[in-house]
């Protein structure tokens, strides 16, 4: 348990470092060339477009509700239910607050409103998909099966973020920043969840 938590805290620190590095690059203009080249590249990857539905608010809301219900009926895991609400709901709130605080405009030809950095699809997609992977992996005894579960859901999170580039509604740095912040926030939530359940705390 301690080793796992240590890895989670290290992951949180590294992911937060990535986010802060990208944010610094965006604020200073260092990412401009990468963003322009990235948009031109992904403009031709239209096969990615359908994956954006995994990061839609309605999709995340429905899956999260089903997730919470499943944790109650199959595990009676109240702590897990609270974890889902805090991780997904809190992640959404942080993302919206940062978007308005930073105020970065979307790419020129984006057909949707709102601010751009960090990408909500990348951030919240990372949080809820890897959270699903965490609980599903707990049902498997073999390390290879657990690794396969994490691999599949990590790939889905990656495709969800990249779909925002093929749709031309986010810059690459927005998506990268979303991945970093989502990974950091989820790692912190999971570390605290594991500490709380291990100590037998009471809500």
In this model, does residue 101 exceed pLDDT 50? yes
CA atoms of 98 and 104, how far apart (whole Å): 10
Residue 1 pLDDT > 60:
no
- Region 19-28: mean pLDDT is 96
Q: What is the CATH architecture of 2-199?
A: Up-down Bundle (1.20)
Read off φ and ψ for residue 45, nearest 5 degrees. -100, 60
pLDDT on residue 203: 36
What does the block give as tokens for 197? Answer: 């359940």
- For residue 202, what pLDDT is reported? 38
Rounded to 10 degrees, the C-alpha dihedral 159/45/96/110 comes to -170
Nearest to 120 by CA among 157, 65, 68, 166: 157
Listed range (71-80, 162-171, 175-184) with the worst mean pLDDT: 71-80
Alpha helix stretches (DSSP H) within the chain: 2-28, 32-42, 57-70, 78-84, 90-102, 120-137, 143-166, 172-199
Q: Mean pLDDT, to the nearest integer, of 108-125? A: 92
Residue-wise pLDDT for 152-166, tens only, equals 999 999 999 999 999
What are the boundaries of each domain within the chain? 2-199
What average pLDDT does range 29-53 have in this prediction?
Answer: 94
Q: Tens digits of per-residue pLDDT, 121-158?
A: 999 999 999 999 999 998 888 999 999 999 999 999 99
- Maximum pairwise Cα distance, the chain: 52
Contact 121, 164 (CB under 8 A): yes
Q: Which two tokens stand for residue 36?
A: 């322009």
Q: What is the DSSP letter of 54?
A: G
Spatial CB neighbours of 157, under 8 Å, sequence gap ≥ 6: 122, 125, 126, 129, 130, 179, 182
pLDDT in tens, 51-83: 999 999 999 999 999 999 999 998 888 999 999
Q: Provide Rg for the chain, Cα atoms.
A: 17
What is the band of 200 on the pLDDT scale with cuts at 50, 70, 90?
Answer: low
What are φ and ψ of residue 154, in 5° steps? -65, -40
DSSP 3-state assignment of 89? Answer: helix
199 or 13, greater pLDDT:
13
Is 189 a residue whose pLDDT tops 50?
yes
- Confidence band of 2 (pLDDT split at 50, 70, 90): low
Determine the pLDDT at residue 199.
67
């Amino acid at each position: 348990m301690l080793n796992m938590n240590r890895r989670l805290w290290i992951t949180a620190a590294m992911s937060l470092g990535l986010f802060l590095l990208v944010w610094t690059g965006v604020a200073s203009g260092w990412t401009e060339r990468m963003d322009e080249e990235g948009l031109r590249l992904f403009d031709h990857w239209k096969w990615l477009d359908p994956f954006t539905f995994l990061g839609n608010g309605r999709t995340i809301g429905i899956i999260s509700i089903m997730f919470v219900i499943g944790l109650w009926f199959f595990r009676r895991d109240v702590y897990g239910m609270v974890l889902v609400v805090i991780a997904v709901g809190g992640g959404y709130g942080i993302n919206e607050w940062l978007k308005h605080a930073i105020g970065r405009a979307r790419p020129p030809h984006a057909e949707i409103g709102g601010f751009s950095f960090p990408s909500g699809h990348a951030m919240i997609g990372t949080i809820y998909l890897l959270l699903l992977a965490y609980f599903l992996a707990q049902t498997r005894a073999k390390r290879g099966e657990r690794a396969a579960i994490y691999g599949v859901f990590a790939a889905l999170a990656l495709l969800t973020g990249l779909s925002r580039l093929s749709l031309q509604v986010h810059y690459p740095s927005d998506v990268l920043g979303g991945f970093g912040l989502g990974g950091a926030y989820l790692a912190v939530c999971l570390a605290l969840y594991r500490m709380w359940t291990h100590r037998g705390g009471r809500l």
